[in-house]
Structure 1
Amino acid sequence: MSAEHDETPADPTGYETIAVDDDGGVRTVTLSRPTAMNAANRAMLAELSSAFDAAAADDSVRCLLLTGAGRAFCSGRDLTEAEPGEDAYAIISETITPVLEQLWEFDKPTVAAVNGAAMGVGLGLALNCDVVIAADNARFSSPFANLGVALDSGGHYHLPRLVGMGRALEMIYTADVIRGPQAAEWGLVNRSVAGSRLLAVATALAQRIAAGPTLAFRRQKALLRQATGMTWAEVNEAEARLQAELVQTDDYREGLAAFAEKRRPRFSGR
């Protein structure tokens, strides 16, 4: 399936700005305002919040895949809703940040398949996913130098951690567009692939993750987040406690049985 698909089938859940599809433990959430470059308006943010809550609560969902319809992932906030002198603090803290926080704290594995533009809140949505696969035509940018305001959507947290302080400031100062291959070279994304292969590659990865021991993945995701503020000894202690928990699971028993029987394991995520 091409990353340049221009139409998304009507979503059976009733969403108007996103589409939701399940396949083999993978829930794909597609930003679906292609004529507006998937700019995030209030309706899209509300529907994303609902979709993330539903995916978190659904035990059949073992991996979340986030992508965009048409020629963009998400070009940023829908500026047709912006006004001079608006209450930017309230808009960001009450409307945008809570959705990004849901994605950042989503305890199941998440993958972003970035096609076309990922800017502003679109950049935030991508970087709040665990793994980011970018099309070679993906375009990442902090465009705020052209507007006279500041990078938001968690960019000040993610960019220096991913690309270093110098490159983060270069992106802020210049508003230059970073395309998929350069984003992969910088470490902004995991890797870049041809646009025509983007969804196939990202979906295959998401399905591989969903078929794995997702309980162990979830616990390791949480530990990695905590480990940035822990000492070497604290990390090793936490790993020992985690391993002691995981050897009691159905997945570990299945993994041992599959190893002994020389077959692929069939993990349940329990």
Structure 2
Amino acid sequence: MQFITATRDGPVTTITLNRPEVMNAINIAMHHELQDAFDAFAGDDSQFVCVVTGAGERAFCAGSDLKAAAVSGLPPEYPRSGYAGLIERFDCPKPFIAAVNGVALGGGFEVALACDIIVASDTASFGLPEPLVGAVALGGGLHRLARQVGLKQAMGAILTARRIPADEGLRMGFVNEVVPAAGLAAATRRWVDQILRGSPMAVRTSKAVVQRGLEEPSVEIAMRHQQDYPEFVAWRASDDAIEGPRAFAEKRSPVWTGQ
């Protein structure tokens, strides 16, 4: 990997966008490196949680590398799972956490919004400034922001292309927690550890049920259909579903296999 790093700590994968000299802006090669790294995480049964962050202190990701795009003169060729190998990764029920350590703009904001949880430093900021350069945020940001914070809040941010400070992102609802910059890694690990207390099968099924349920026309229909969701079916037949009640009855900590 030339433009990212991917490390593992037990069941946790951390993927770091590693071009701090250009605020971790994403070029074409980086898109494909990210696709490979996220594929490896998604396909490894021993990996339960993925943390996405940026190198350095200034930026999580400033979006696309426009200078590189201008030099090449070629339209971007995104990988199979879309921008950054993540924004169209709809088939991975494992949890993703964005640890946003600085600016998250354009495609960088879209990467963060594609994660399930956003933990931000108090120096972080967010925005979709594409209209300022005659572009449109087509990497899912328009759709995800409207769904995550409501239409009026989203339209206010999208149409003005303004920068949103981390504390405002918390109030709007797309940021889960804001912490001092020096405490970002510790806060992110706290979220990771809380997730890891639960059964990986149950965590993945919970995420999948939420996502699939949002596509249903009503809560009533979602509850009627959830028992037929593939993830629900797999969880019901899993070792984790047996281990949880057994460990409780035996008054011991469960040993999750994620199977």
What TM-score results when the alignment is normalised by the length of structure 1?
A: 0.85
Matches within 5 A, 1:36-185: 36-70=22-56, 71-83=58-70, 88=75, 91=77, 96-97=82-83, 99-185=85-171
**Is there any run of 5+ residues in structure 2 with no aligned partner, and where?**
none
Measure how far apart 1:245 and its partner are.
5.3
The answer on 1:232 being equivalent to 2:232 is: no
Q: Name the structure, 1 or 2, with higher relative contact order (CA <8 Å, separation 6+).
A: 1
The answer on 1:32 being equivalent to 2:21 is: no
Count residues in correspondence.
Answer: 255
Contact 1:21/1:29 (8 A) holds in 2 = yes
One-letter code aligned to 1:257: R
**Is there any run of 5+ residues in structure 1 with no aligned partner, and where?**
1-14
Structure-2 change in CA distance of 1:35 and 1:256 (3 Å): same
Q: Percent identity?
A: 36
Structure-2 change in CA distance of 1:106 and 1:244 (3 Å): closer
One-letter code aligned to 2:129: P
Using the alignment, how far apart are the partners of 1:265 and 1:95 within structure 2?
34
One-letter code aligned to 2:34: L
Contact 1:63/1:207 (8 A) holds in 2 = no
**In structure 1, which of residues 251, 254, 257 is the aligned counterpart of residue 240 of structure 2?**
251
One-letter code aligned to 1:227: G
Using the alignment, how far apart are the partners of 1:23 and 1:217 within structure 2?
19
Using the alignment, how far apart are the partners of 1:95 and 1:65 within structure 2?
18
Match of 2:251 in 1: 262
One-letter code aligned to 1:54: A
For 1:106, what is the secondary structure of its paired residue? coil
One-letter code aligned to 1:142: L
Using the alignment, how far apart are the partners of 1:239 and 1:202 within structure 2?
30
Contact 2:87/2:111 (8 A) holds in 1 = no
Using the alignment, how far apart are the partners of 2:18 and 2:4 within structure 1?
5
Give me the CA root mean square deviation: 2.4
Contact 2:3/2:19 (8 A) holds in 1 = yes
Using the alignment, how far apart are the partners of 1:92 and 1:52 within structure 2?
14
Measure how far apart 1:75 and its partner are.
0.6
Structure-2 change in CA distance of 1:219 and 1:58 (3 Å): same
What TM-score results when the alignment is normalised by the length of structure 2?
A: 0.89
